[in-house]
Amino acid sequence: MDNKEIEKLIENLDNIVPNITPHSSDEEKQKVLEHINYVLGLAPQNTNVLSWKAIYYMTIEDYDNTILTCKEILKIDPNDLMAKETIEDCEKLKELQTEIQSSSRSYCSHSESDLLEKVPVSFLVTAKIIILAAVIWFCCPALILSFNDNKILNIKDPSRFQTIKVNPLSEYDNLTKQQIFDIRKEHVKNSLFAKENYEPDNSVFGSIVDNKPWWGTITCNQLDYKGDYHERIEGPSKVSAQMNNPNALVGLSLPFIPWEYDYNQEFCTSDYGRFLPVSIQYDKKDNLIVSKYKLTKRFLKYRSSVNGKMTRYPIQLSGLNARDFGYDYVYIYDSKNITMFEQNNNITEGIRNFTDYIHLGGSCKYKDGCNNISPMQYDKIFTVYKLPAEINMKLWKKRPANQYMKADMYYRIILDE
């Protein structure tokens, strides 16, 4: 059996396992378990299959086997947070179940047991299910809601994706706001987010000022510079990497421009420093966009002093496009080979909102300022320490109850050579 056939069997689990309930017949339960074990025999190291096995046991309230299955996941991936949390939650549920059973025995030993005997068995069973379901929902959101996230992480089949055109950068210098809006509308018209009567969101683009220069694609600052900073507005406009590519919901930019030294000339003169995606792909079935960017191994060696500490060159996530289409909320639910700049306050810790917008600012230091993106968002800045690196995000239009809720859009950034 080839890999595609195995992937289809794995995908089929998300249609089979959720149909099982504690009231399903033994025959139905056995059939589903046999199917899970069959797929597991074909892909014994696949944590997604093991996760479905865990949810199966959780559904039928077999907490001991849920724990054993999660321990199997941890043997393969010791850092699997969901498996760790599920084990803790199942231990709590076992204790709760024991307490309920103990209380029931104690209560039934008294004369009130006569009253319970008159209550229909179906009512008691239903009450038990409701109580346990509520406990599971509030105690185990990671287990219940993260399976779709894990499924998204395992989508790698190229045949599932539609290739989206990447538009080149362009120069916006001295154009009017209306001219910029017309350019934006044309790109949106040819995007996944095309809609009739589209207008750029005023909170994002409303502060653009007519006939002003824009930050260019300068990558490094010149040492001991004494000029008028005209170099900073030359060439294609930096923000056009995002505005010309509406499908790139979350863009990348360098929030701190390093000084130009001999050792980092490869970066200072490179095209990849403009952070234009090399490819964009879309999986319609699961609402997943994948944007790929080029970096080099040499880039990983560069260091810069930022806020008094030496660090790899920081990169900032920008939600300019996401905000324009209403995806205000973001959470990184999985990442590889990156480190967040702010260790204790960042979008891997919980749901955050994008605040990107364009206005006239003085950061370019050119006379009378330039149109540019603000503000600095430290909770969305990261560094890359190894390639390939990957960032998997969940985007929502309305703030969800928690980060485990299914996203309105999934977005993956891949950085590789």
Q: What is the mean pLDDT of residues 404-410?
A: 92
Tokens 């080839």 sit on residue = 2
Mean pLDDT of 229-258: 96
pLDDT (0 to 100) of residue 111: 47
Whether 300 has a pLDDT exceeding 90, the answer reads: yes
Amino acid 107: pLDDT: 47
pLDDT at 155: 85
Q: What is the distance of C-alpha 406 from the center of its chain? A: 11
Would you say residue 264 has pLDDT above 80?
yes
Query: Is residue 401 scored above 80 in pLDDT?
Result: yes
| pLDDT average, residue stretch 225-242 | 95
pLDDT at 104 exceeding the cut of 60: no
142/138 Cα distance (integer angstroms)? 10
Tens-digit pLDDT profile for residues 166-176: 999 999 999 99
Whole-number pLDDT of residue 118 = 54
Percent of the chain clearing pLDDT 70 (strictly above): 87
pLDDT score, position 397 = 97
pLDDT value of residue 150: 79
Q: How many CA atoms lie within 13 A of 121 on its CB side?
A: 0
3-state secondary structure of 396: strand
pLDDT surpassing 50 at residue 377: yes
Judged against a pLDDT cut of 80, whether residue 7 lies above it is answered with no
pLDDT of residue 299: 96
Tell how strand 303-306 and strand 309-312 pair up: antiparallel
What are the pLDDT digits (tens) for 121-168?
Answer: 555 455 555 555 555 545 555 555 566 787 888 888 888 899 999 999
pLDDT category, 350, cuts 50, 70, 90? very high
Residue-level pLDDT at 307? 84
Q: What's the rounded mean pLDDT across residues 210-228?
A: 94
What pLDDT, in 10s, does the model give residues 308-341?
888 999 999 999 999 999 999 999 999 999 999 9
Report pLDDT for 144. 55
- Of the pLDDT bands very low, low, confident and very high (cuts 50, 70, 90), residue 17 is confident
Query: Taking a C-beta distance cutoff of 8 angstroms, is the pair 245, 303 a contact?
Result: no
Contact criterion met (CB below 8 Å) for 80 and 48: no
User: What is the pLDDT, as a whole number, of residue 136?
Assistant: 52
Tell which residue, 208, 255, 210, 213, has the closest CA to residue 233: 213
Give the C-alpha separation, 6 to 103, whole Å: 47
Per DSSP, helices labelled H in 77-207 are 81-108, 113-118, 121-139, 141-145, 147-153, 177-189, 202-205
Q: With pLDDT > 90 as the criterion, what percentage of the chain qualifies?
A: 61
Q: What is the mean pLDDT of residues 390-406?
A: 93
Section 183-206 average pLDDT = 97
Classify 388 as helix, strand or coil: coil
Confidence of residue 109 (pLDDT cuts 50, 70, 90): low
- Give the Cα separation of 394 and 406 in Å (integer): 8
Q: Classify the C-alpha dihedral 370-232-223-381 as positive or negative.
A: positive
Number of helices (H) and strands (E) in the chain: give both, helices first.
14, 15
Least confident of 79-83, 179-183, 228-232, 365-369: 79-83
Buried b / exposed e over 33-63, threshold 16 CB at 10 Å, is bebbeebbeebeebbbbbbbbbbbbbbbebb
Among the listed residues 371, 373, 374, 375, the one whose alpha carbon sits nearest the alpha carbon of residue 179: 371
Question: What's the CA gap between 333 and 322, in Å, rounded?
Answer: 17
First-to-last alpha carbon distance for the chain, in angstroms, is 33
193, pLDDT greater than 80: yes
Written as six digits, the tokens of 289 are 């966009």
Cβ atoms within 10 Å of 69's Cβ, excluding its own: 25
Average pLDDT score over the chain: 87
Between helix 81-108 and helix 47-59 the angle, nearest 10°, is 10
Neighbours of 342 (CB within 10 A): 14
Q: Taking residues 33-52, what's their average pLDDT? A: 89
Burial code (b: 16+ CB inside 10 Å, e: under 16) for 108-123 equals eeeeeeeeeeeeeeee
Report the range of poorest mean pLDDT among 95-99, 195-199, 369-373. Answer: 95-99
Query: Given this model, what pLDDT does residue 79 score?
Result: 80
